[in-house]
Amino acid sequence: MARPDGRLNHNLLDEDPLPQDECGVIGVWAPGEEVSKLAYYGLYALQHRGQESAGIATSDGKHIKVYKDVGLVSQVFDESTLSALTGHIALGHCRYSTTGGNQWSNGQPTLGATPHGTVALGHNGNLTNSADLYDRIVERHGRTDFGELAQGNTTDTALVTALLRDQPGDSLEEQALALLPTLKGAFCLVFMDENTLYAARDPQGVRPLVLGRLDRGWVVASEQSALATVGASIIREIEPGEFIAIDADGIRSHRFAEAKPARCVFEYVYLARPDANINGRSVYESRVEMGRQLAREDTHDADIVIPVPESGTPAAVGYAEESGLPFAQGFIKNAYVGRTFIQPSQTLRQLGIRLKLNVQAHVVRGKRVVVVDDSIVRGNTQRAIVRMLKEAGAAEVHVKISSPPIKWPCFYGIDFATRAELIANGATIAEITAAVGADSLAYISEDGMIAATGQPRSTLCTACFSGEYPIELPPEDRRGKLLLEQPAFPGMYKRVQTGCEPGPDSEFELDDTERPLRDALGEAAPSETSLSESAQSESAPEDSAQDTAESLTTKASR
């Protein structure tokens, strides 16, 4: 079990989790540098992209070492651990699960053997043809009990690692170029062998991936915030459909597929850090412009504009600028409260959101308040926020959302609620307004959101808002977060029980004080069943190359 982190997580209410991105990745090629520490600090800057597990692999030219564990970057690594990860190449990964449950065996980087050496691999995104890739492995080998698959890894990343060793080619580079065109969905891959660092981005470029320069090397990372943190200068984005290799001979670039951009618009809305820059557009400025556009589309007579920290702050700044209303900090967010693993009393359970967010009553008392946030998922958070503001004496509360209603699930690397749980699916604006208790509620239009990004509509994925998926989806029975843990995939299912760990706060996730809003709308809340999850160990087949690779994997004893 991960230790208490003492830091605020993304969610203001545990039963109303915000959309979560899958992962953050970083790769470093820098002879003479402490590459493990560069990867560590890069992951620190990417922690917002995944908080379930973290791992780093390094190579000294002869051996690859991997260290990973469940928890935040700061929980998993310490000085002694990083000192043992020596070499001139490093690969770092922080994970939020969108394929495979949250368990140690699903942590990354993955490790595997190839005819040309060992490969360590990290992945941000979500493949849509995982079932086909599984079938391909079974067809070729008649089994899946080798490599990380034998250790209970049920992710699409493990499938890619296993398939790399079967591809034609005289080097890992050639093998990767043979495999990449067969992968479907969203993927930013950063991987390495003993001597070379590699990176690849899917043809749609759904998730961001950037290239940076160090004085004595190179860095690739999910966002440029990681480059800035380790002192690397931004060179450019890895292009959609591009594969690069970095070694002592420099950088080589290959085009493995035609670029068909469909960048995730939700990166601009919420997922990326505000200091990111995606396709030449500042994420912070996009969010400020979303607030301005929201004010143009719907302005109420009010006294102040306040954000829901921290994700609503840039849009609230833009709303205040455009509307001419004063900007104020109506909420104070506790920066040191996270999952404490201490069960609260019934009284504290009823406080809910107040454990993490407090109203400045003197700021809102007697005021007509516009409160700005980036999105609504289930709606419980907005309901609690409105109630807190009115209890603090706000005369009116007008909720403004800087994205359109979320009505559809994502299959490209964001873990939304199921469609049945999304409050905007099946409820009108008036019904949602009444359910959250606001005096009014307004969402930005889809056109307004897209205009704020500065990107052509044709180059963006808006599936979670529009239901238009730019990458073809497989049948329903061949997709889903826990797909490979189902009985239909016996090679994986026999090693892992189906389900997700309930987590330390599960005992009050459906507390009556914060019931799902569908109850307020007179609809039955979706039932949720949590099953404990455990990996069953099995012996790997006798394969000397694979045994060598697996022996280098270190499981942290936390």
Q: Where are the alpha helices (DSSP H) in 10-95?
A: 35-45, 73-76, 79-84
How far lies 336's CA from each of 6, 82, 332, 353, 360, in Å? Answer: 5, 25, 12, 14, 18
214 Cβ contact partners less than 8 Å away, ≥ 6 residues apart: 28, 30, 33, 38, 230, 231, 232
Characterize 137-147 residue by residue with b for buried, 16 or more Cβ atoms within 10 angstroms of its Cβ, and e for exposed.
beeeeeebbbb
String of DSSP letters for 347-408? HHHHHGGGGTEEE-HHHHTT-EEEEEES--SSSHHHHHHHHHHHHTT-SEEEEEESSPPP-S
Is residue 160 over pLDDT 90?
Answer: yes
483-533 pLDDT, tens digit per residue, is 555 555 665 645 444 333 333 332 322 233 334 444 555 543 333 222 222
Compute the half-sphere exposure of residue 73: CA atoms within 13 Å on the CB side of its CA. Answer: 25
Q: Which of 106-115, 427-436, 454-463, 483-492 has the lowest mean pLDDT?
A: 483-492
What's the chain's length in residues?
A: 558
366-387 pLDDT, tens digit per residue, is 999 999 999 998 898 899 999 9
pLDDT at 103: 64
Positions at the binding site for Mg(2+)? 311, 373-374
453 confidence band (pLDDT: 50, 70, 90): very high
Catalytic residue among 23, 94, 188, 500: 23
Is 23 known to be catalytic? yes
Instruction: Give pairs for 360-364: CB < 8 Å, separation 24+.
Output: 360/329, 360/330, 360/331, 360/332, 360/392, 361/392, 361/393, 363/304, 363/306, 363/328, 363/329, 363/330, 364/304, 364/306, 364/330, 364/389, 364/392, 364/393, 364/394
More confident residue, 451 or 357: 451
Positions at the binding site? 264, 311, 373-374, 410, 461, 464
pLDDT, mean of residues 473-481: 77
Does an H or E element contain 92, and which? strand 89-95
410-443 pLDDT, tens digit per residue, is 999 887 767 888 999 989 999 999 999 999 999 9
Question: Burial of 373 by CB count in 10 Å (0-12 exposed, 13-18 middle, 19+ buried)?
Answer: buried
Cα 155 from Cα 482, distance rounded (Å): 9
